[in-house]
Amino acid sequence: MATDDSDNTAAPARAPMPAWLPRAMVLALALLGLFELVNWAAHQLIGIAIMMTVAFFVSLAMEPAVDGLAARGVNRGVATAVVFVIVFACTAGFVATLGVLMVETVANVVNELPRLIGELVDWVNHTFHQKFTLDQLRDRLFKDSDIISSYAARAANNVWGLSSTVLGGIAKFVTIALFSIYMTADGPKLRRAVCSLLPPAKQGAVLHAWDLAIDKTGGYLYSRALLAVISAIAHGAFLAMLGLPNSLALGIWFGVVASFVPTIGTYLAGILPILVALTINPLDAVWIVIFVVVYQWLQDYVLQPRITAKTVDVNPAIALLSVMVGGALLGAVGALLAIPATATLQAFLKEYVTRYEVAEDPRIDRQGRTRKERKRNRAAND
């Protein structure tokens, strides 16, 4: 009887699954789930982390004043309350001043807008030999009334969103204020708690870094506050000489914005008084622009180097870069914290990074070298 070759051919045996593969797959899935959980938690808690960072920097800025009062025998809790009441009063005063200025400026612009438009149309007609009229502009405006209506409807629909944003901002402000007060009042206890988690050899370095942060952050705040006072007095007096209304309030606005917004703060602050001047005497707006430019130069090259020499001294280019980086990372909060954080890091690196003496070399200091000197140096090098 013939046998079938196919029956004699044995099927290849399958290799058994490695014993570690199921465990590896379960471990990979567990790690993936853990990563997603941590990622979700990080996104949920990033807002709280930012508020705690802001509160920490605020407490660093307030601590020198609180320590000064405590050194004079004032209870630390009372000293913290006094300092924060003064800060809150100044902040509330600035916000109220800004609100009054904005309302009055908008009202003046609205009241004077027909006259300003008429003068602008007359100037355009006289300069460019045209024959525009206010009626043509009015017809053009009514022709585009659908666009205006759509903007109004969109703004009305966003009222609830704006209200939620304002309420959320108030809640964040209150949270930051409360934690700042707690961190400042319990500053010694907080440092002791942090140091208790570190070996004795590391505690000194941490406390020194903490002191640097307090000195630089507080120094930045107090130097900027002094610059703000000088700027407010100078701009307020100049605007009073021009006869602008609310010159004191405009001076305070100038001082705060020009001092706490680096590099371009003075120019931003000048927009509001320029609008006020345009509604009264357009020539005064030109004088304000000239004064703003001159004062910015005076602040950058005369006042600021002398005031910040003993507190916090950051190169203007580095300050602007740090503000841009901080704004890109954390928005407006990062921009506000960027300079004191940069000053702290700069002071820390200055103490712990070794620097060497640089030998005299004409390739380093090229200022004042003539063409003959450059040719002689190149010939010597060749």
In a domain, 166, yes or no: yes
Cβ contact 51:175 at 8 Å:
yes
What confidence category does residue 34 fall into, taking pLDDT thresholds of 50, 70 and 90? very high
**Domain assignment of residue 65, yes or no:** no
Give Cα separations from 268 to 134, 255, 305 (angstroms): 32, 11, 22
The pLDDT assigned to 380 comes to 59
What's the number of domains the chain is made of? 1
| Rounded CA separation 374/381 (Å) | 11
The C-alpha atoms of residue 342 and residue 323 are separated, in whole angstroms, by: 9
Q: How wide is the angle at C-alpha 319 spanned by C-alphas 348 and 350, nearest 5°? A: 20
Q: What is the pLDDT of residue 32?
A: 92
Measure the CA angle with vertex 262, ends 256 and 267; round to 5°: 70
Phi then psi for 42, rounded to 5 degrees? -65, -40
Whether the model clears a pTM of 0.75, i.e. scores above it, the answer is: no
Q: Is 92 inside a domain boundary? A: yes
In a domain, 60, yes or no: no
Query: Could you tell me if 280 and 191 are in contact, meaning their C-beta atoms sit under 8 angstroms apart?
Result: no
Residue 142: is its pLDDT beyond 80? no
Q: How confident is the model at residue 85 (pLDDT cuts 50, 70, 90)?
A: very high
Range of the domain at 178: 70-136+162-352
Q: Which residues contact 242 (CB under 8 A, 6 or more apart)?
A: 277, 281, 284, 287, 288
Residue 6 lies in a domain: no
Q: What is the structure's pLDDT at 82? A: 92
Decide if 236 is inside a domain: yes
Helix then strand then coil, % of the chain, to nearest 5: 80, 0, 20
Q: Distance of alpha carbon 43 from its chain centroid, rounded?
A: 22
- Asked whether residue 77 is assigned to any structural domain, the reply reads yes
